[in-house]
Structure 1
Amino acid sequence: MEFQPHPNAQQTSITCAVITVSDSRSAETDKSGQLIKELLLADHHTVALYQIIKDEPKEIQSQMTALGRDAQINAVIFNGGTGIAPRDTTYDALEKLLEKTLPGFGELFRVLSYQEIGSRAMASRAVAGIYQSKIIFSLPGSSNAVRLGMEKLILPEVVHLVKQLNWPN
């Protein structure tokens, strides 16, 4: 059963940034970042920025701060660096900047992941929240995790969340 709790009377296009956090991927090998872009474009959204950055907390925070000042961007989707390995620092870097968190995003993502991959889902530190009136999502770097998060959670709700952030405008 497909459930969309906040159907939009009309399709609204939002402007997004896609950031892959990786020490080893390039534009040619970044399947997850490309998948996020494809899914956003297929849902009639705009991708204003796509970038690959190193898994360095200061670089992640610098990118987030710059995007926070960009009035054109409504949503930012990070992928990569959400596990527990020593080089997985995306969660730690973003969590310090988020003004509000959406705990339900990570909780739901892990439940859906558990249904696909079992108990290894508990190692994911997928997170979402608000920064500078923008919705921020952070997904694992695997393409399967990206597809799951985008199709089941982000795409069905991102327009509604952006509208909530801009209410009553």
Structure 2
Amino acid sequence: MEFNESSSKDAVSPASDQADNRHHTDDRPRVGCGVITVSDTRTRADDRSGAEIERLLLEAGHRVVDRRIVPDASEQLRQAVLTASADPRIDAVLITGGTGIAPRDQTPEVLEPLLEVQLPGFGELFRAVSFAAIGPAAMLSRAVAGRRGRTVVFAMPGSTNAVRTAVEQLILPVLTHAVAQAQQN
């Protein structure tokens, strides 16, 4: 799988929109991102969660190098993450779907062995923020994050509301700083 940059996805908003991270002088103002939707049923035409991630990233001034859909099959997701993390244009991979408890939901099981460093705080905070919005059903999420090589990886549930919560409240405020930390020599 090759990740191809699309010129239509290069829209940029001012880096000052990343106000929470202005004090990190080594942070890159634009992060190259891969977006992966894990689903057996979604197509590009009805992938609202992947489209929402892309929209939020672009509005924040980041680049979406590639956006793809892979089935709820562990080997396809594994290969997509390996390919994305090996692509020097991709600094962060945002994954939506496969984090529930259904038998086909395998995203955490696929990601955890690939991650050299795990960020348990992402899943903990996601569930805490989600609990305030949806109540006890938040405990059914197995959102995970970490670092593979020099690439940060975030996996969140497949619902558009969950994606919006995770990206707006948790990922965007720290994305440039997390990438800068992951890419330190």
The TM-score with structure 1 as length reference comes to 0.93
Partner of 2:20: 4
- State how 1:53-132 maps to structure 2 within 5 Å: 53-132=70-149
The question of 1:157 aligning with 2:174 is answered yes
Partner of 2:6: none
2:32·2:91 contact (CA, 8 Å) conserved in 1? Answer: yes
Corresponding letter in the other structure for 2:59: A
The question of 1:140 aligning with 2:157 is answered yes
Q: Which runs of 5+ in 2 are unaligned?
A: 1-18
Structure 2 CA distance for aligned equivalents of residues 7 and 105 of structure 1: 21
SS in 2 for 1:135: strand
Residues 6 and 127 of structure 1: is their aligned pair in 2 closer, same or farther, counting only changes over 3 Å? farther
Instruction: Tell me the alpha carbon deviations over residues 94-152 of structure 1, each in whole angstroms, 9 at most, x when there is no partner.
Output: 11211110010000000000000000111100000001210000010000000000000
Q: Which runs of 5+ in 1 are unaligned?
A: none
> Which ranges of 4 or more aligned residues in structure 1 deviate by more than 6 Å?
none
Offset of residue 93 of structure 1: 0.6
Structure 1 CA distance for aligned equivalents of residues 122 and 115 of structure 2: 14
Offset of residue 167 of structure 1: 2.3
The TM-score with structure 2 as length reference comes to 0.85
1:6·1:160 contact (CA, 8 Å) conserved in 2? Answer: no
The total of aligned residue pairs comes to: 166
- State how 1:12-27 maps to structure 2 within 5 Å: 12-27=29-44
Q: Percent identity?
A: 45
Offset of residue 4 of structure 1: 3.4
Structure 1 CA distance for aligned equivalents of residues 138 and 74 of structure 2: 23
